[in-house]
Each structure stands twice: as C-alpha cells, then as structure tokens.
Amino acid sequence: MKPLLTVNDVTIRFPAANRLAARLSGQPRFIEAVAGVSFALEAGKTYALVGESGSGKTTLARAIVGLVPTHGGRIEFNGERISGLSENRLRRVRREIAMIFQDPLGSLSPRLKVRSTLAEPFTVHGETAGIERKIIALLEDVGLPAHFAERYPHQLSGGQARRVAVARALALRPKLVIADEPTAGLDVSIQGEVLNLLRDLQAKFGTTFLMISHNLNVVRHVADRMAVMYLGRIVEEGNTAAIFAAPRHRYTRALLSANLKPDPDHSAPLIEVEGETPSLLKRPSGCEFHPRCIFSLAVCKQQAPKEQIDAGHRFSCHNPG
C-alpha cells in the first residue's frame, strides 16, 4: 500500500540568532533543527513522533503543513510533492491536512465565538452552503452541546477548547491530521477523553494521524508506529509495540525507562542520562548521543552510527541493546 505521507531526508535550517557573533566565533551560521529525517505514514494509521523538547518534532510538523520552509529533502502527500510549494498552490493541499496545535486555548482566536472559529475552514474554502448545520454537527462530533457555538474561547475549559480545536481540524474531513501534543495542558481524565475522541473519529472517518508527544503512555495507547527523535534526527523508528517491547537505541531505552508505569510496586531500573541536551550549534561528534550515553564505546565518539534495519525496525546505534 502506498503511504499517505512520505518525508524523505528532510532538513530544516534556521539562521543562528546572532549571525555576526556566530561568524566571529567560528560557529555555524545555521542551526539544523531537523537534519535528514525520513519516514512514511500509512493511511488510516496513527504515527507518533517522540522526543525531548528541542528535538525538532514540532518544527517537522510545521514543515509538513507548510508553516516552515524546508531546506533539503522532499515531503510527499498522496504521491505529490508538497515541500517548497507556493502559498497559493499549497491552499488545495491544506484542505487535506489539518493541524491541532499545542496550546488548547492559544490556538483559538480570542475575539471569535466558537461558531466563527468553526465556520472558518468552510468560508476559507468557499463551502458556505448549510454552514450552520455543519457547525452543529461538528460540535456534536466532538461531544459538545450546540449552545457552545455562542461561547468565546475564554469561556471554555482546557478540555472544551481542545475539543473545539479538534472539531475545527476535522471540519473539512482531512485525510491527515497532525496533532501537536494533543494532551498537553490537560488533566489526566481529560487527556483520556481527548484521546478516545481522536480514536473514535479515526474509526469513523478513516483519518490518518501524525501525533507529536513526549508522553510515552499516550503514544503506547494510540500509535501504530513511532519514531524517536534526538537533536533533529530519527534515532529509532518502528512499530510501537516492537519498540516498547525491545528498544534498540540506548536513547530510546533511557526514555522508556524514565516513563513511569501506573503500578506502585513496579520498580524498573532507571537508566540515567547525564547532562542536558547539547546545543544544536555545537553538535557532538560521532554518535550525537555519546556524551550522555553510559554505554558509549570508543567508536561512538568518532563515527556516526549507520542506520540498521531489522524487520521494519530502524535504529542508529553502535552498541544497541
């Protein structure tokens, strides 16, 4: 089956904050927030991007929806290149790809009633026929009563705002929905509700999801496949179940071991990761995880590990677990 979305060797660069200082100190003038990332998304499935803050997940998602220009590589949607398109040519594709942003309230225009927010996708794409009915139907889809159409964002709770954002994303029945931390800033009970809502809508409309999260319990619950990102690269990629069962990359192992299980008696050995994420301006040599990895070998300092593929499970590590 042909993938719905392919990301092929995509690189995203930003100019360094202070170009003059960068030039004087011999540091690179650009940072690569995403450095050569490839993966493919099958239609109707959920794919998760996992990683620490600053690993490039959100940047990559924004590049897919065309908010951030790519510097190299190719993004294809439905077999058609969408990276590097002009705003006008992107407009047609934007009907098919929707994005749910991190901040539940911040992604709703503060002076617009829920009605106007939900009407926007239709008006932008010129489908104003029966709009009132469609708005009510959308609210129903996400489990909100019809009178919520009259509310302003500041009159909504976090969970309700999130539901409105989901409703807006699904308004045009997009093929692909990118959800950036769909559970961020929500109570645990509401997190569950939102995830179940997304799952139900996926079953109902066959939507494909690309989910960004650092909540591993969420990923395990919803994702079919996942990729672990570190410093703008994918270090491990594969089926969620396979990765959770047997992570190969040392970084993934550490990440998973730091994930708490809802079981008070469970005590897994915590693999410690020393130090902080290195600066993107000064990438470590060889394997970029080596300064923080307790399993690092001499070769890790010199050589970047080659990507190995083992039954659809990719990883890049010299000393895999």
Partner 1 sequence: MRDSTFGRIIREPMGALGITLVVLIVLGALFAGFTGYNPAKLAMRERFLDPSLSHLFGTDHLGRDLFTRVLFGARIALGVASIATSISFIGGLLLGMIAGYGPRWLDSLLLLFFDSLRSFPTVMLALALVTLTGPSLGAVILVVVLAMLPGYARVVRAQTMSLKSSEFVLSARTLGARPWRILAIHIMPNLSGPLVILVSMDNPVVITIEAGMSFLGLGVRPPTPSWGSILNDGYAFIRESSWPAIAGGLPIIDPRLRRDG
- State yes or no: residue 109 binds partner 1 (CB under 8 A): yes
Q: What's the rounded Cα separation, in Å, for the pair 302 and 213?
A: 31
Using DSSP's 3-state secondary structure scheme, residue 86 falls into coil
- State yes or no: residue 145 binds partner 1 (CB under 8 A): no
Contacting residues for 202 by C-beta, under 8 A, at least 6 apart: 44, 46, 209
Contacting residues for 119 by C-beta, under 8 A, at least 6 apart: 131, 135
- Spell out the SS3 assignment of 3-15: CCEEEEEEEEEEE
- State yes or no: residue 13 binds partner 1 (CB under 8 A): no
Size of the residue set binding partner 1 (CB under 8 A): 28
Phi-psi region of 94 (alpha: psi -120 to 50; beta: other; left: phi over 0): alpha
- Binding characters for partner 1, 54-83, by CB under 8 A (x = yes): --------x--xxx----------------
Would you say 50 or 169 has its CB closer to partner 1? 169
Instruction: Kindly state the smallest distance separating residue 168's Cβ from partner 1, in Å.
Output: 7
Q: What's the rounded Cα separation, in Å, for the pair 193 and 187?
A: 10
Would you say 94 or 318 has its CB closer to partner 1? 94
Scanning 77-85, 88-96, 129-137, 228-236 for contacts with partner 1 by CB under 8 A, the matching segment is 88-96
42, 52, 76, 103: residue in contact with partner 1 (rule CB under 8 A):
103
Give the closest residue to 165 by CA, choosing from 144, 196, 189.
144
Contacting residues for 177 by C-beta, under 8 A, at least 6 apart: 97, 98, 99, 100, 169, 170, 207, 208, 209, 210
Q: Which of residues 242-271 bind partner 1 (CB under 8 A)?
A: none
Instruction: Kindly state the smallest distance separating residue 107's Cβ from partner 1, in Å.
Output: 4
Contacting residues for 283 by C-beta, under 8 A, at least 6 apart: 231
* Alpha helices per DSSP H over 206-272: 216-222, 240-245, 250-257
Would you say 113 or 220 has its CB closer to partner 1? 113
Q: Which of residues 152-191 bind partner 1 (CB under 8 A)?
A: 165, 168
Scanning 6-14, 97-105, 237-245, 263-271 for contacts with partner 1 by CB under 8 A, the matching segment is 97-105
- Binding characters for partner 1, 115-134, by CB under 8 A (x = yes): -x---xx--xx---------
Residues in contact with partner 1 by CB under 8 A are 62, 65-67, 90-91, 94-95, 97-99, 101-103, 106-112, 116, 120-121, 124-125, 165, 168
